[in-house]
Structure 1
Amino acid sequence: MFSGFQFRDWLLANDPALSRLRTASRVTLTIILSFAILFAIQMLIVPLPTAAFGLGIVLSIEGGIAVRDKGNSRQLVTRLLGCVASLAVVGIAAGLEDRRLLSDLVFLVVIAIASAGRVFGPRGFAIGMFAFTSYFMGAYFKPSLGQLPYVAAGPVVAVLVGHVVRAVLLPDDWRRDLLRSLESVRGRINQILFKLAALAGCGHIGEADRQELRQLEDRLKEVVLMAESFIPRPPAGVFDGASNPAAELAIRLFDAHLAAESAIVVSFQSLPPFALVHAVIEADKAELATYEEMAEAIKDEPQGETVRALLWLGESRQQLTQAIGEGQASGFAGIDAVKDTAQPEKIDFSFANPLLRSALQITLASALAMGFGLLLSRERWFWAVLAAFLVFTNTNSRGDTAMKALSRSLGTVFGIAIGLVLATLISGQPVIAIPVAAVCIFLAFYFLQVSYATMTFFISIVLCLVYGMTGVLTLDLLQLRIGETVIGAVAGTAVAFLVFPARTRGALDAALARWFQALDGLLAAIGEGKSGFELIALSQKIDACYRDVTVAAKPLGSSWSVVTRPGQIRQTLAVFLSCTYWSRILAKSSKAPAVGDDLKKLIAADLALTKDAAAQGSACFFIERRASRTTGRHLPLSRDGARLGLEMIGSALERLYPQADILPFAPGEAIARSKQG
């Protein structure tokens, strides 16, 4: 069984900085408190219309999810403006209730304005979501004009409670989040060590094990990027010197990440001794000292490099643990917060702006969903519009939209199936149904960032429980909800593919262009003799761009895709991961001020490869690669890291378009050309 410490370590390893836990807790607590306050008003002061409760619940959700401004004061302003927008559109919906055709057309106008509001940034996005969901609820519950003062209780209570929950009860704290994210980094390093220990114990590594280690490497990179985002940096983004406490922490994080990646890379060639991995996990200094002597004796052998990599990882992990301990003791008191000096971006109202093109897509999809939804039901067509609107949220391409539409449909179907069973079993027992609904709400938003289908699944269960408690649950109603959801999902997908289609390859081309540009910047900086934190910052930019590439490529490798095989996508991503890794090695190893002629030749060659590969965009994801094989290597643990890094980057770039007579190498592995030239 897990101890409390082990459970927390596991939780942090899977939920960096506990961000998902905090988001789910905020939404659930806001809903519970808002509902309790509205219920108290109903019982003690004045009866409230159903619309007040509906608005209170949905705006509690929007307040926890859509409000993304930095700082409590900015968030409060956004919430208040959202409340005003909510009251305005509910009033319009109530005034137009007797003119249904006009009300439906006005709903489309609200959708268009709400979607276009995203051009104004996080605040525009949040206010738009408040307006859309409020008109939806107003048209759904149909409050009269005379009820509007009482309906207003819902938005007002939800906004105020939401702000108190986020600013007072569960506030943001970058120091706490930094500490938790560092603990998450350590947790994911531990996962890598546990896997290496299991492989060392059996003495064999298969392709499935390699794939699992690469996935662990990706997960580590993900949380390292999060931790780096919490470390305050100067406006220019580059630290002046290692004496800065923030710079020292950034270096420790960088080293831990690089050491873990290196341990994985060398383990593909030669597994470490089980006793060594166990000593690293237990931080057994005596045992580690024994292996340090062994590493020196066999330094020219593959096993020697593996031992060196594990010793490096053990040292870096200990330094990271020390940083975590200092953070726990002092709360990173020596690190000063940096004020937000970012200038607002210029607002672009042309159709060159993808946000405006998306606003048109959302409006057309909603109109299409409205038309077909009305054919299915005059009273429940809102569900179709809701699905069409939401499938465009946080998507970058038509492939993304199709995936989200499918996820919403499947989540709804399975959620209703389970929800119907639960609602039937606990029918007439609100004492059980309400806690179950609260748990489902929490789980829905806990998994929101992980799986949209899972979120929809739990929300559908909640709706079934609500229908059961209000006595309107019928099989016909649930079938109607599924039908309307499918209509909205299909409408959204159709518009995404036919109107201003953002091709998945187009989004991937843009992400790849940024990655190649970042790599080009690093190589150019090394050629100019730069070093230190400037190179590390450039390598971190490559890391961030690699993450964007994986997100953009995701629809290509999905199970529904008929464009290509997922294996090809993984292989190509592995090439970019390898190149990103060696970029970090290069940034760490390059020394100023002089750059020798041999390094300049390698830099020029890599820049030429970068230019050629960048010009071909995403074509590399559709290249057929033959069976892989393993090669020897030497890590910079015992050789010149700068030269080796440049050689490895060149090899990785060459693997994007392998020659017909050359067998490409195993995904995630680089070619050691240390003995060439």
Structure 2
Amino acid sequence: MHLFSGFQFRDWLLANDPALSRLRMGLRVTLTIVLSFLILLAIKDLILPLPTAAFGLGIVLSIEGGVAVRDKGNSRQLVTRLFGCVASVGVVAIAAGLEDRRVLSDLVFLAVIALASAGRVFGPRGFAIGMFAFTSYFMGAYFKPSLAQLPEVAFGPVIAVLVGHVVRAVLLPDDWRRDLLRSLESVRGRINQILFKLAALAGSTEIGEADRQELRQLEDRLKEVVLMAETFLPRPPAGVFDGAADPAAELAIRLFDAHLAAESAIVLSFQSPPSFALVHAVIEADSAELARYESTTETIVDRPQGETVRALLWLGEARQQLTQAIDKGQASGFSGIDSVEDTAPHQPIDFSFANPLLRSALQITLASAIAMSVGLLLSRERWFWAVLSSFLVFTNTNSRGDTAMKALSRSLGTVFGIAIGLVLATLISGEPAVAIPVAVVCIFLAFYFLQVSYATMTFFISIVLCLVYGMTGVLTLDLLKLRIGETMIGAAAGTAVAFVVFPSRTRGALDAALARWFQALRDLLVAIGEGKSGFELIALSQKIDACYRDITVAAKPLGSSWSVVTRPGQIRQTLAVFLSCTYWSRILAKSHGAPAVGEDEARLIAADLALIDDAAPRGSSCFFIARRASRTTGRHLPLSGEGARLGLEMIGSALERLYPRADVLPFAPGEAIARSKQG
């Protein structure tokens, strides 16, 4: 019973944390902080006294080492950490030397911020070194060590860098084969979630809108983990496999089929929900029962329920093949798949303001200057919190909407975290044996949720700070109010600058994402017109998938509560059109196998390309027009020779729904097929 429960928990964990990447992130940061702190404490007790700044640097650089260092390969990561350590000690020395000249020190801090932000143009290494420099100057100016203490202070960065490298390279190392196996298990887990939901809906005459929305969310979650699994598959430099004999190519096909079959099962269940017995047979892999359903498909092939049965049978077969691939991976560790060296050419560095990274660097510097000025009015000693907030709200954002959402998340996380942290710190005041384990757990949870929710991460970090203040005896209500005030100042400064200086509009980011999606779809259609097939088409359809994910990310601020645009239903409807087109592009890639297209397919390709030419220049305006939701009808699965033709028809139907004519309601896919047959 306990063993079964353990497997259930692991399946649940993988289904919600693909490749266990979030778990590994949380464990790496937490373990690095704990080990670094213990080593520094041992040095202080046994060898020589260390200033508080050494401990502060050890902790924050343990965090940066786990989060900011993103180079591929242990040797590259070590080089980045060592450069970061040198930068850390250097900026702390500057902060210590300028401590008596506060105005000059503040100006130098702004220069460090500008250089750290601009360093991102050099890629992952520049980003990491910049974060090391920024946080180190922050800690140096905050703790105010003297120049004479610099050798002792240097223990903090050195220990954090060395421990961080050992944790990542030895204790919790990266292993793409292990991550590939876990991500495949996550794909199977999310397919199981879809099957369980379909089982709950089995026998219904019609699936309601709430259940449809839940199934679409499950579909998006499946897409997310499939895209992750594809990143672990080593591909040739050209990105296209040579043939199915390649073990990696075979695995790519298994993954592609499982994804497409699951989506087809969802789409077809909308028009005709499956029977419980069928879904149960797929879940249990009951070959006898599945064979019985297989024998009945011929009698109901032209009816909606026949299409649903075929979709579930396809999903059952694809799921079994994926399970076989997982079993082989567990037995062999995918030893038959060779690693591929990263041979991507280095892109030239653009130092002009046409580069969004340099524009962002200017935004960050101006926001930090504003936060510093206002923060100083509130507190001469704690203004650093305002600068920290203004700096961090720009991290991993690509539009002013993203920045505003992140600023709001940081503010809310801080407020609620301090409220809970104050209660916890009060309850366990004077009990370090309780407070320390609680703080460690909160650190783990903060970085476990970092990739999911910035507000949640900030919430747990704020609790940790309250516990630390409580253990050091400086916790007061006024201090916590000051923390909240400085955080909001920094968040407001970042948001204001994002909207005024080099503003990157949400619609601008969305326009760019849509342009990439339309271009990817065009590339697929052109490749089919040129007679290409096989893995090349599959790779192109996967590119469309990745571009669709970028669209969903770019469109997210449009439906947020702070935005002027508050029509999430309309946003979802438009995203559903792009999702439908993305789905049919994969059907098309899988179905087209002929070396040359016929006259009928050539006509459909030309029509689809014309629709792209009409829709692409309009950009994101499709998200702001009224449309009537349409439900897919007609046949969906690729049937021998007509699969490619069907895919082309359905892509055209989806593209027409982006900009429906005022005098003609967008017609259903079944009508598209009928019209194309008539014409």
Separation in structure 1 between the aligned mates of residue 302 and residue 656 of structure 2, nearest angstrom:
27
Partner of 2:224: 222
Separation in structure 2 between the aligned mates of residue 128 and residue 627 of structure 1, nearest angstrom:
48
Partner of 2:321: 319
- Offset at residue 634 of structure 1 (A): 4.0
The answer for unaligned runs of 5 or more in structure 1 is none
Separation in structure 1 between the aligned mates of residue 316 and residue 124 of structure 2, nearest angstrom:
42
- Offset at residue 664 of structure 1 (A): 3.7
Residue identity opposite 1:371 in structure 2? S
- Offset at residue 111 of structure 1 (A): 0.1
Worse-matched range after superposition: 625-634 or 218-227: 625-634
Separation in structure 1 between the aligned mates of residue 640 and residue 243 of structure 2, nearest angstrom:
26
**Cα offsets for 1:464-504 (capped at 9, x unmatched):** 00000000000000000000000000000000000000000
Given that residues 239 and 539 in structure 2 are in contact (C-alpha distance below 8 angstroms), is that contact kept between their aligned partners in structure 1?
yes
Separation in structure 2 between the aligned mates of residue 514 and residue 169 of structure 1, nearest angstrom:
40
1:219-618 residue pairs with structure 2 within 5 A?
219-618=221-620
1:592-671 residue pairs with structure 2 within 5 A?
592-626=594-628, 628=630, 631-637=633-639, 640-664=642-666
User: What secondary structure is seen at the aligned counterpart in 1 of 2:433?
Assistant: helix
Residue identity opposite 1:582 in structure 2? W
Given that residues 20 and 447 in structure 1 are in contact (C-alpha distance below 8 angstroms), is that contact kept between their aligned partners in structure 2?
yes
- Offset at residue 568 of structure 1 (A): 1.0
Separation in structure 1 between the aligned mates of residue 486 and residue 336 of structure 2, nearest angstrom:
56
- Offset at residue 661 of structure 1 (A): 2.9
Partner of 1:673: 673
User: What secondary structure is seen at the aligned counterpart in 2 of 1:405?
Assistant: helix
Residue identity opposite 1:110 in structure 2? V
Given that residues 632 and 672 in structure 1 are in contact (C-alpha distance below 8 angstroms), is that contact kept between their aligned partners in structure 2?
no
- Offset at residue 635 of structure 1 (A): 2.5
1:14-29 residue pairs with structure 2 within 5 A?
14-29=16-31
Given that residues 633 and 671 in structure 1 are in contact (C-alpha distance below 8 angstroms), is that contact kept between their aligned partners in structure 2?
no
Given that residues 238 and 537 in structure 1 are in contact (C-alpha distance below 8 angstroms), is that contact kept between their aligned partners in structure 2?
yes
Separation in structure 2 between the aligned mates of residue 438 and residue 641 of structure 1, nearest angstrom:
55
Give me the TM-score of the superposition, normalised by structure 1: 0.98
Given that residues 628 and 663 in structure 1 are in contact (C-alpha distance below 8 angstroms), is that contact kept between their aligned partners in structure 2?
no
Partner of 2:137: 135
Given that residues 56 and 154 in structure 1 are in contact (C-alpha distance below 8 angstroms), is that contact kept between their aligned partners in structure 2?
yes
User: What secondary structure is seen at the aligned counterpart in 1 of 2:202?
Assistant: helix
Separation in structure 1 between the aligned mates of residue 631 and residue 125 of structure 2, nearest angstrom:
52
Separation in structure 1 between the aligned mates of residue 670 and residue 372 of structure 2, nearest angstrom:
53
Separation in structure 1 between the aligned mates of residue 144 and residue 435 of structure 2, nearest angstrom:
27
User: What secondary structure is seen at the aligned counterpart in 2 of 1:640?
Assistant: helix
User: What secondary structure is seen at the aligned counterpart in 2 of 1:556?
Assistant: helix
Separation in structure 2 between the aligned mates of residue 205 and residue 46 of structure 1, nearest angstrom:
70
1:160-179 residue pairs with structure 2 within 5 A?
160-179=162-181
Give me the TM-score of the superposition, normalised by structure 2: 0.98
Cα distance, 1:421–1:492 mapped onto 2, change above 3 Å: same
**Cα offsets for 1:609-642 (capped at 9, x unmatched):** 0111101000001011135456333432477110
Partner of 2:90: 88
Given that residues 447 and 455 in structure 1 are in contact (C-alpha distance below 8 angstroms), is that contact kept between their aligned partners in structure 2?
yes
Given that residues 632 and 670 in structure 2 are in contact (C-alpha distance below 8 angstroms), is that contact kept between their aligned partners in structure 1?
no
Given that residues 244 and 250 in structure 2 are in contact (C-alpha distance below 8 angstroms), is that contact kept between their aligned partners in structure 1?
yes
RMSD: 1.3
Given that residues 59 and 160 in structure 2 are in contact (C-alpha distance below 8 angstroms), is that contact kept between their aligned partners in structure 1?
yes
Tell me, yes or no, if structure 1 residue 4 matches structure 2 residue 6: yes
Partner of 1:44: 46
Given that residues 652 and 670 in structure 1 are in contact (C-alpha distance below 8 angstroms), is that contact kept between their aligned partners in structure 2?
no
Given that residues 203 and 273 in structure 2 are in contact (C-alpha distance below 8 angstroms), is that contact kept between their aligned partners in structure 1?
no
Given that residues 305 and 637 in structure 1 are in contact (C-alpha distance below 8 angstroms), is that contact kept between their aligned partners in structure 2?
no
- Offset at residue 152 of structure 1 (A): 0.4
Separation in structure 2 between the aligned mates of residue 70 and residue 627 of structure 1, nearest angstrom:
45
- Offset at residue 557 of structure 1 (A): 1.3
Q: How many residues align?
A: 675
Cα distance, 1:670–1:50 mapped onto 2, change above 3 Å: farther
Given that residues 271 and 306 in structure 1 are in contact (C-alpha distance below 8 angstroms), is that contact kept between their aligned partners in structure 2?
yes
- Offset at residue 660 of structure 1 (A): 1.7
The answer for unaligned runs of 5 or more in structure 2 is none
Separation in structure 2 between the aligned mates of residue 58 and residue 634 of structure 1, nearest angstrom:
54
- Offset at residue 564 of structure 1 (A): 3.7
Cα distance, 1:640–1:628 mapped onto 2, change above 3 Å: closer
Separation in structure 1 between the aligned mates of residue 596 and residue 627 of structure 2, nearest angstrom:
39
User: What secondary structure is seen at the aligned counterpart in 1 of 2:353?
Assistant: coil
- Offset at residue 676 of structure 1 (A): 4.2
Residue identity opposite 2:137 in structure 1? Y
Partner of 1:76: 78
Given that residues 630 and 665 in structure 1 are in contact (C-alpha distance below 8 angstroms), is that contact kept between their aligned partners in structure 2?
no
Worse-matched range after superposition: 312-321 or 588-597: 588-597
Q: Percent same amino acid among aligned pairs? A: 87
